[in-house]
Structure formats: C-alpha cells, structure tokens
Amino acid sequence: MIYLASTSPRRKKILKDLGVCFKILKPAYVEKNISGAGPVKLVRIHALGKALSASRLIADGKILSADTVVYFKKKIIGKPKNMKNAFDILMSLQGQWHEVYTGMVLLEMLAGKIKRRVVMVEKTKVLLLPMSRKEINLYFKKVNPLDKAGAYAIQVKKGGIVREVSGSFSNAVGLPVERLKKINRLIK
C-alpha cells in the first residue's frame, strides 16, 4: 500500500492521474524556517520530516512525501502568509524567471521499521508573464494563492500566468512524476 504523507490536492490529483492506489496520511510535521538552508536542503528536510512523522502511523507500506518551494533572487518563497503577501510575491515574480524545487521522499516500511529510504530533489525553471497590479488581482479571483508556494498555480490553463517552463512541469505543480516513475519499483 502507498501512503501519501501530504494534504496537497495537487499531489493527490497527480497520483490519481497516474493510476496509483493510495491512502492519505496527514503528517504531524510542522515546517519551519531553517536559517542558512538553501532550497535543496530545505525541501529535503521538510519532505523527510513529513515522511518520518507519517511513518509512526503505519507498520507496513510505502510512504510518499514532498515539499515544494520557489527560489528567486537568493530567497526561498513558500506559501504566502496572507493575500497582501501573495500580491507582493507575484509582483516580484511577474515577468521573471525563478526556480521551483521539490523534495520527494519514499520510505518503505516493514514491521514498523524503515526498510528503504529514497530522497531526491528536482528543480524546474519557470518564467511568469508580465502582469499589472490589476491583472494580479484578477488572477487571485480565479486562483487561491494561499496554499501554493510562490502564490500561483502553474497548472491553470485558462487565464494562467506562466509563459515558459524549463524542466519538469509536474515538479512545479508539486510532485516530479518523471522521477517518481524512475523509482517505479518502490510503488508497485
């Protein structure tokens, strides 16, 4: 059995679209700001923390967890704190290239112990369209930015704000499918 240690509706949809049978485990892990950690280290720490917190809930099975952040001008950008913060984030990202990092962890549990652990990080570059203040406000009427790293949803087609993607599209959504398929033996 696969257990998804995430409450992200986007990760849930990605797994459903792949035809993976899974159950949700809400991780007890609380993400924290780690001083001096770059985006790679941070998403690894958070993804592993989520998986380990969920590992206490099952004895046997495979646990999948992930964490995603946006990285721009040497700053890590997670989920916005409020709508003003979301607006400020999009004002800074509009018309700019930035990077999206997702850390992903797979734990294989057997008799309450971790039998195998796979930790990986994927990076995708994203270019947003230039937007005015009015266009950002209109975008927020279509998309709730508060549960998304970087305050935008790359997967929105109609009225989307992404101009170009270099790398894994699904990674920027929140789960690098290509990487997940490479370790397919763990999810069969």
| Backbone phi, psi, residue 148, to 5° | -130, 130
| CA–CA distance, 173 with 66 (Å, rounded to integer) | 11
- Torsion angle, CA of 181/71/34/45, rounded to 10 degrees? 0
| CA–CA distance, 168 with 59 (Å, rounded to integer) | 33
Question: Is 67 among the residues known to form the active site?
Answer: yes
Amino acid at 32: K
Return the exposure string of 63-75: e unless at least 16 CB atoms fall within 10 Å of the residue's CB, then b: bbbbbbbbbbeee
Options 17, 60, 67, 88, the catalytic residue: 67
Q: Which two tokens stand for residue 174?
A: 């929140």
| CA–CA distance, 118 with 76 (Å, rounded to integer) | 24
Residue 185 makes CB contacts below 8 A (sequence gap 6+) with none
Q: Which two tokens stand for residue 79?
A: 């989920």
Residues carrying an active site annotation: 67
